[in-house]
Amino acid sequence: MISVFDLFSIGIGPSSSHTVGPMKAALAFVDQLRQQQQLGAVTRVKADLYGSLALTGQGHGTVSATLLGLEGKHPRTIEPALVGPRALAIQQENAMMLAGTHPIPFDFTKDLLLHKHEFLPKHANGMRFSAFDSQGKPLLLQTWYSIGGGFVVQEEEFGTDQPTVTVPFPFSNADELLAHCRKQGKSIASLVWENERARASREELRARGLEIAQVMHECVAAGCRHEGILPGGLNVRRRAPSLYKKLSAQHAAGQHNAMLWPMLYAMAVNEENAAGGRVVTAPTNGAAGIVPAVLEYYRNYIPGANDDRIIEFLLTAGAIGLLYKMNASISGAEVGCQGEVGVACSMAAGALAAVMGGTLAQVENAAEIAMEHHLGMTCDPVGGLVQIPCIERNGIAAEQAIKIAQLALLEDGDHKVSLDTVIQTMYETGKDMQQRYKETSQGGLAVNVIEC
C-alpha cells in the first residue's frame, strides 16, 4: 500500500497528470542515464508525447514540464516562476543542460513531438524518452505513463504489483478499511496513522501532515492576493482577489454567508494552479482547490480546530482518495472529471464529517454521496487549459462537500449505496465515456466555447 500522504504531493500547476507526472518521468529517465554512467555519452535526447498529453500538452504545461524534467528539475523543489522562461530559452537556444550538468543540442521541432492522434496501449497519458550517442546509437529507451495525481509508472511495471511496505491493517477497499476500524475500535484516521507508522516516526508524519496543510493555506492566501490575467490566451481574469475584497467588506458590514468563503478559497487555489504556482495535488491539480478550501473552512468556522484535527482531516481524506486510486482512477484522461473533482469532493466531505464527530457510517455516507452526484462529469477544458470550467467546478464542489458532510451528520449513517459500489460505478462510467470527453479538449465545453 502506498502512503496516503503520497496523494498530497507538493508541486506546481497546472496539472498533476500533465505537468507534475511528465516532469517526474523525464527526471527519472535522466536519473537512469546517470546511474548507468551513460550521461556523458549522450548527444541527443528525444521526447514523444502521446494521446491526452499531446492533445492538451501546451495548455497543461506538459511541454515545459518535460523539458525541465530532462534538465533534472523536480516539481516539488523547482521555482514556479522559472519554468516558463527556462522552457522558452531551451526552444530558442536549441540546447539544454541534460540532468542539469551535461550540455547537448536540442532541436525543439524534432526532439519533442506531439502525437495527438496516437494513444499508447496502457493509458491515455503516454510518453517515450530516447537517448542517443554521437553515432546515433540508442543508449536508453523508456516508455512512461502518467496515471493521475502525479503518479508515473514505466510500461514494464504497468499493472504489476510493486514493492510495498507491510502495514498492520492492509485494506484494498472501503469494506475492508471500515471492518478494520470497527474491529479495532478506531477511526479511519487513527487506523491509517498506524499504517503510516510503518513508514515513518510520529514526528516525521506529523511534520509532513502539517507541512501539507501549511502549503494548502499559503496557496489559498496567494490566490486571494495575486491579481491579473491567467496565462494561456483565454484572457481569463483572476477573480479571487476581487471576491475576497467584496466578501471581506460584507463581513465587516455584518453580512455573513459562510458558504461563499469556501467557494472563494477553492477558486483562489485553482487560479494559482492555472498560473503554474505552488499547489498541493489533492488528489490531482485540476481538483486541487477542494480539499484545501474545506480544510480552510474547518479552520475558520468550526470550533475546536487544531493541528491534531487537521492531521485527522488529511488522513481521512487521503484514505478515501486511496480507495479511488486503488479501485478506479484519479486521472481525468482515463475517467473524466468525476475522477478529479468528484474524488476530491468525496475526500473533503468524508474528512469534514470525520473531524466534526461523524461515525464511521456517517463518514462513508458523506464520501459516497459526494461521488454519487459527480458521476459522469466530463473533463472538457477549454483550450486545454485548467481554467474553464475547472476553476468554478472546484468552488462549487467545495461548497457541496461541506453541505454533504452536514447532511450526513444530521442522519444516522444508514445508506443504501456503499462507497465501494459508487467507486466501482464511477470507474465503469469512465470506461464507457467517449474518449473525447476525457481530457482531450475535443468535446463538451472545449469545442462549444469560442477561444478568445
- Please indicate, yes or no, if residue 445 is contained in any of the structural domains: no
Residue 163 above 70 pLDDT? no
pLDDT band at 223 (very low <50, low <70, confident <90, very high): very high
- Return the C-alpha cell found at 83: 519554468
Residue 451 above 60 pLDDT? no
HSE value, Cβ hemisphere, 13 Å, CA-based, for 24: 24
Same domain? For 316 and 407 the reply is yes
Same domain? For 153 and 228 the reply is no
Q: If you average pLDDT over every residue of the chain, what do you get? A: 95
pLDDT band at 159 (very low <50, low <70, confident <90, very high): confident
Measured CA to CA, the distance from residue 274 to residue 15 in angstroms comes to 8
pLDDT band at 161 (very low <50, low <70, confident <90, very high): low
Residue 162 above 70 pLDDT? no
- Please indicate, yes or no, if residue 163 is contained in any of the structural domains: no
Q: Return the closest-CA partner of residue 67 out of 111, 125, 3.
A: 111
Please give the tally of structural domains in the chain.
2
Asked if 270 and 391 count as a contact pair (C-beta separation under 8 A), the reply is yes
Domain boundary among 157, 183, 199: 157
The pLDDT of residue 384: 87
In this prediction, residues 278-298 reach a mean pLDDT of 97
pLDDT band at 293 (very low <50, low <70, confident <90, very high): very high
Same domain? For 115 and 184 the reply is no
- Please indicate, yes or no, if residue 444 is contained in any of the structural domains: no
Measured CA to CA, the distance from residue 38 to residue 281 in angstroms comes to 33
The pLDDT of residue 257: 86
In terms of residue numbers, what domain contains 137? 12-157
Tens of pLDDT, residue by residue over 418-449, are 999 999 999 999 999 999 999 888 899 999 98
Tens of pLDDT, residue by residue over 306-359, are 999 999 999 999 999 999 999 999 999 899 999 999 999 999 999 999 999 999
Measured CA to CA, the distance from residue 367 to residue 171 in angstroms comes to 17
Same domain? For 147 and 207 the reply is no
Same domain? For 38 and 136 the reply is yes
- Please indicate, yes or no, if residue 168 is contained in any of the structural domains: no
Same domain? For 111 and 184 the reply is no
- Please indicate, yes or no, if residue 370 is contained in any of the structural domains: yes
Same domain? For 374 and 285 the reply is yes
CATH value at residue 78: 3.30.1330.90
| Choice between 159 and 195, residue whose per-residue pLDDT is larger | 195
HSE value, Cβ hemisphere, 13 Å, CA-based, for 160: 8
Same domain? For 344 and 295 the reply is yes
Same domain? For 407 and 303 the reply is yes
- Return the C-alpha cell found at 356: 466534526
Same domain? For 178 and 152 the reply is no
Beta bridge partners of 126: 50, 145
Same domain? For 417 and 274 the reply is yes
Measured CA to CA, the distance from residue 401 to residue 44 in angstroms comes to 49
Same domain? For 243 and 287 the reply is yes
Q: Please list, in sequence order, all residues whose beta carbon lies within 8 angstroms of the beta carbon of residue 62, skipping any fewer than 6 positions away.
A: 15, 18, 19, 22, 49, 53, 56
- Percent share of the chain, pLDDT over 70: 98
pTM summary value: 0.91
Domain boundary among 127, 157, 187: 157
